[in-house]
Structure 1
Amino acid sequence: MKVVNRIITEDEADLRLDRWFRRHYPHLTQGALQKLCRKGQVRVDGARVQTNTRLLPGQSVRVPPMPDVSRPAPLPDPDPMLAREIEKMVIYQDEHLLVLDKPSGLATQGGPGITKHIDMMLDGLRKEGAERPRLVHRIDRDTSGILLIARTPGVAAKLAAAFRSRDVEKTYWAVVVGRPTPGSGIIDQPLVKVGAGGAALVVPASRDEEDASSAKSEYETLDAAGRKFSWLALSPLTGRTHQLRVHCESLGTPILGDPRYGGKAAHPEGFTDRLHLHARQLDIPHPAGGRLKVTAPLPAHMRDTFRSLGFVAGGTPQPERIKGKGPK
C-alpha cells in the first residue's frame, strides 16, 4: 500500500470530496474520511481540504494508503419487465443523460407502502459495463411528466449544481378549479410542513413562523372555461415539497383531482379523479455545453379533460439541443 495521486476527470467536476471517495473507495466511512482530512493525509492540489470541498477537473487528490478490500459485487441484471416499462418512458437520451416522461401514480423513489418506483427501475437504463444511472431531481407521485436522469455521478453533480443555482427553467401545466385573479403573477407564499411520514401536509405559513420556508411560483392563465376551470402554466421559482399544489390552493383555485389538497372543491363531478398537474417542459444547461429543452406530451387523463373543456394544447415540440460553450 502506498500514497497515490488521482486526477479529477471532467465527468467528476463539481463532485464533493466525500462523494468522490464514496465512488472510488466505498469501504471508507464518512468518519474515517473526516479524520484523514483533519490530519492532512487527504489533500487536493497539495492543500488541506474538508469533506464538502467541491472538485474541479484536473485537480490532484492525494489518497493515503487504503486497506485492501474485496471487489464490490457485480450489479444485478435488471428485471426484464421493469426494463421494458422504463425504456418506454424515455423521450430523450444521449451519452450524458436521459429524460423520462413519468406517468401519474408512479413514485420517483421508495417510501412507506411504495413497492414500485422509478429509482428501482433505473438498472433497466444502464448500458453494459457502465454505472447505474441516477436521479437528479424528483416530482410528486401523482404528478406526470419530465424527470431528469444522469448516466454518471459527474453528470449528476453538474445537473444538481444547475438546479441549485436556478439555471433550470421548469414549466408545469395544470387544470385548476376556478379562475385566478389576477390572471397571472407571482405567488410569494412561505410554506411549512406539518406532521410526519405519509400523512404530512404542507400548508401556508406566515413569514415569521418557525420552520417556514420561502416559496415562490410564477403562474399564467393560458385559457379558461368561464370561471369554473382554468389552464395554467406554472414555474416554481423555489423547490419546496408540494409547492405548486399548495400555491394553487392558496389562490383559491385548487388543482383538479388533487388527492391531498383542495378538499371537495378539487373533485367536481364529471372529471376523472386524478391530479391534473404535468411537468411539461424542462430547459437545462447541458453538461457537455449549450442547453437542452425537452417537452413531454400531456397524459391521457389531461388530454380528455382538455377536450371536454375546449382547451387546445397543440403539438409537442421535439427535444432541442442548442450547442454552445461548455459550462463555466
Structure 2
Amino acid sequence: MMKKTRTRTRPEKKTKKSDTFTVTSQGPLLESLVTAFPGKSRKLLKAVLRDSQIKVNNRTVTQFDHPLKPGQVVEVSWDKSSPQKRPHGLNIIFEDDDIIVVNKPAGLLTVATDKEKRKTAYSLLSEYVKTEDPDNKIFIVHRIDRETSGLLLFAKNEKIKLKIQETWISTIKERTYIAAVEGEVKRESGTITSYLNESKAFIVYSSQNPRVGKKAVTHYKTLKSNKDFSLLQVNLETGRKHQIRVHMQDIGHPVVGDIKYGSRIKPIGRLGLHAQGLVFTHPKTNELCSFETGIPEKFNQLFKQNQK
C-alpha cells in the first residue's frame, strides 16, 4: 500500500531516526500511520502527531484526521522535538512557511485589546515563531470571539496576509461552526438572512431593512436535540461580527452562555460556540486545505441524557 524508506543521522552519542513513506491511497493521516507502522502503538503515533514530529510534503501537520492524497510524502521523526517549539496553551494544527492554523481555546483573545495586551493567540504565536528567528513575525488574517473556541488562520508574512484578505471570498471556501443553543430546534435545517448593524455600545442588531446594515446569511443543520438544548452545525455564507450569535437570538434559540444576545443560563461555563471547520485555497500553492476539529466535550454533555 505504501512505499517506506528509512533515513538515519549519526550524532556522536545518540542515533536519531526518521521514517518516510509515500502515500498510495487517500485517507486520514492517523489511519495511514497505523497501516504504515503496524509495530507502533496508536498512543505513540498520536504523541508524535501532538509533538509536531510529522511532516506531509515537508509541512508540519499535527491534525490526526488530516486528509492524505496519493503521491504525498510523509516523514515521521521518532525523536521528540525541542519543547520551545510549542506555544503553551495553543494547539498548532498545521504549519508551513506561509501560514499557521491553530485551535484556539475558549477564553483566549485573538489579538490584544485596551484591557488585555499580553496573553493572546497572536502574542503566543509571535513568541513561538521568534524562537526560530528573532526577526520572524505573525500576521492576523481573521478573528473569532474570545469565548469562542476553534480554528484560526494566521499568516507568517505580510504578503500572504494581504493576499488572503484581498481574496477572502474566493480563498475561504467554507467556515463551519458548532453551536449549542437553548431549547429544542425542531427544524432539521434552515437559513437565516438579515442585515446587521452595530450600535455605539458594541451590540449588533438584526434588521430586515437593507438600508440599515450589512447582509448576513447563516445556514444551519440540527445535529441533535432534547427538550432543553440543541446542537447545530452552522455554515457562514457571510462573516459579519457576532453573526451566529445574533441569528440564533433571531430564531429564539440563543447560544448557551451568551448573555449579551438573549441567553439566560450558563450550563457549560462558557459560550456554546466552536469554530469546527475551515476550508481554504492555500495562498501560495493553490492547494485546497481542509481542517476540522472535534465537538467540545462540554457541548456533548448537554445531551448525555434524554437524547432525541
TM, length-normalised to structure 1: 0.62
Report the 3-state secondary structure (helix = DSSP H, G, I; strand = E; otherwise coil) of the residue aligned with 1:284.
Answer: strand
Per-residue CA deviations over 1:252-305 (Å, capped at 9, x if unaligned) read 1111111321142xx16xx22311100001011012122111112333533433
| Equivalent in the alignment of 1:149 | 154
CA distance in 1, matches of 2:278, 2:270: 23
| Equivalent in the alignment of 1:124 | 127
**Superposed displacement of residue 233, structure 1:** 0.6
| Equivalent in the alignment of 1:285 | 281
Query: When you count strand as a share of all residues, which structure comes out higher?
Result: 2
Instruction: Name the count of aligned residue pairs.
Output: 222
Contact 1:83-1:121 at 8 Å conserved across structures = no
Alignment of 1:52-67 (within 5 A): none
Report the 3-state secondary structure (helix = DSSP H, G, I; strand = E; otherwise coil) of the residue aligned with 1:140.
Answer: coil
Per-residue CA deviations over 1:71-118 (Å, capped at 9, x if unaligned) read xxxxxxxxx9996315x4211112221111001111111223224322
| Equivalent in the alignment of 2:268 | 272
Whose radius of gyration is greater, 1 or 2? 1
Q: What amino acid is aligned across from residue 282 of structure 1 in structure 2? A: L
**Superposed displacement of residue 181, structure 1:** 5.0
CA distance in 1, matches of 2:116, 2:134: 29
Per-residue CA deviations over 1:211-260 (Å, capped at 9, x if unaligned) read x11111111111112x4211101111111110000001101111111132
Report the 3-state secondary structure (helix = DSSP H, G, I; strand = E; otherwise coil) of the residue aligned with 1:168.
Answer: strand
| Equivalent position to 1:195, from 185, 194, 200 | 200
Contact 1:187-1:247 at 8 Å conserved across structures = yes
Instruction: Report sequence identity in percent.
Output: 31
| Equivalent position to 1:102, from 101, 104, 117 | 104
Contact 2:182-2:263 at 8 Å conserved across structures = no
| Equivalent in the alignment of 1:232 | 232
| Equivalent in the alignment of 2:214 | 213
Contact 1:133-1:151 at 8 Å conserved across structures = yes
Report the 3-state secondary structure (helix = DSSP H, G, I; strand = E; otherwise coil) of the residue aligned with 1:104.
Answer: coil
| Equivalent in the alignment of 2:73 | none
**Superposed displacement of residue 191, structure 1:** 1.2
Q: Which aligned segments of 4 or more residues in structure 1 are displaced greater than 6 angstroms?
A: 80-83
Q: What amino acid is aligned across from residue 112 of structure 1 in structure 2? A: D
| Equivalent in the alignment of 2:115 | 113
128-137 vs 229-238, which moves further: 128-137
| Equivalent in the alignment of 1:299 | 296
Report the 3-state secondary structure (helix = DSSP H, G, I; strand = E; otherwise coil) of the residue aligned with 1:215.
Answer: strand
CA distance in 2, matches of 1:194, 1:91: 36
CA distance in 2, matches of 1:98, 1:146: 10
**Superposed displacement of residue 148, structure 1:** 0.4
Whether 1:165 aligns to 2:170 is yes
CA distance in 1, matches of 2:287, 2:211: 41
Query: Residue 305 and residue 294 in structure 1: after superposition, are their counterparts in 2 closer, same or farther (change >3 A)?
Result: same
Cα root mean square deviation, aligned: 2.5
Mark the runs of 5 or more structure 2 residues left unpaired by the alignment.
1-82
